[in-house]
Structure 1
């Protein structure tokens, strides 16, 4: 059997590099992408979105951009009663498919922080998080329903006076809102003004440190004289 020369080894280098990169990418995948076995089906809405959008790739159950950020998640037919603790890793997703799962009825609190979500595919018996008013369009099919176009409820007249005077309303997921304090305000109902007192903090810390150091020095000096 002929041995490989230096040229033959160099020819294998690109394959080795590609293999290492593939292993590294697999190890770096968020847990939610590999929570369910298999990969995204070619005919799924997530696969279609990923192929139509430039610079996106399918890895396991996720559609990722070049930075590894999740923009699509397909967990259909995974026997899920709830999306699980790793679901928050997909809060950057634009499209999520959860069809063909025995999901619990109320998903309202599951989507905290999912402000980018625009398309959500669910089993027909499930309810769009936030209800109909949280979405521009809810379409029902034979076995699924699709919630599309997340509404910004901060612009709705149904939620007046949600935030205090020194705060402003911001979306926090489908049907969810949060109040963001204005610059210079913090605390309960954004009523506390001023920033963290750094000078006072470091002044007290410095004085305490000097006092302890002086006490220890005096103690050691007395012990030395007694000896």
Structure 2
């Protein structure tokens, strides 16, 4: 009996240590605001429906990837420098915050985002054309169904012949060079040579250093 109790105590201690370790490994954005996730929030509902892990203000999968972020009512004027940690999120709640109006580039790289909840007076990033549905309520605005603007008429033409259009977040696009091409407008063929780049940079720096040293030495002799 004693051995079973001892084994149970060890197992409980191990689980506690694992829990502490997991908590310490949380991305900083998950603990930006005090407290945990609101039980009635859409992010919490998403976590429960998909059986994902809820810790602090985040909804994560087993690998620790952020799938949901609930930062509502956090007195935020902007999401902060760590917000990019949530670029994998599918749902984000930022309502009840005094956010600045222009969030156009805040969501660069958030290509998986499908539901974004904002204060009522803050427009959806990228505008209504970047979302399937934009719904306004008395206290919030919900942007749903991020569109891939590369599939819109005329968008692929913005990229050069050796590049292709790719989504870069709500209302944002980027041109990705095809394999074997790089540089401005993907016009250069072949891989980018780091060795050549740093070789030229090093040679230029050395030449400038020698010229400066010679100039200072002549001034020293003249004085």
- Which bracket does the TM-score occupy, shorter chain normalised? 0.7 to 0.9
For normalisation by structure 1, the TM-score amounts to: 0.83
Please give the alpha-carbon distance, in whole angstroms, between the structure 2 residues aligned to 1:35 and 1:113. 20
CA RMSD of aligned residues (A): 1.8
- Residue aligning to 1:22: 19
Residues 174-193 of structure 1: matches in 2 within 5 Å?
Answer: 174-193=170-189
DSSP-derived class of the 1:79 partner? coil
Q: Deviations over 1:31-74 (max 9, x none)?
A: 000011111111100000010013x1100000000000000000
- Residue aligning to 1:87: 83
- Residue aligning to 2:31: 34
Please give the alpha-carbon distance, in whole angstroms, between the structure 1 residues aligned to 2:138 and 2:85. 30
Q: Deviations over 1:118-160 (max 9, x none)?
A: 0000000001000000000000111001000000111112535
DSSP-derived class of the 1:126 partner? coil
Q: CA deviation at 1:29?
A: 0.3
Q: Deviations over 1:3-39 (max 9, x none)?
A: xx65543331111011101100110000000011111
For normalisation by structure 2, the TM-score amounts to: 0.84
Query: Does the CA contact (< 8 Å) of 2:58 and 2:70 recur in 1?
Result: yes
- Residue aligning to 1:211: none
Q: Deviations over 1:83-113 (max 9, x none)?
A: 0000000000000000000000000010000
Query: Does the CA contact (< 8 Å) of 2:150 and 2:173 recur in 1?
Result: yes
Please give the alpha-carbon distance, in whole angstroms, between the structure 1 residues aligned to 2:155 and 2:4. 71
User: CA distance change for structure 1 residues 158 and 145 in 2, over 3 Å: closer, same or farther?
Assistant: farther
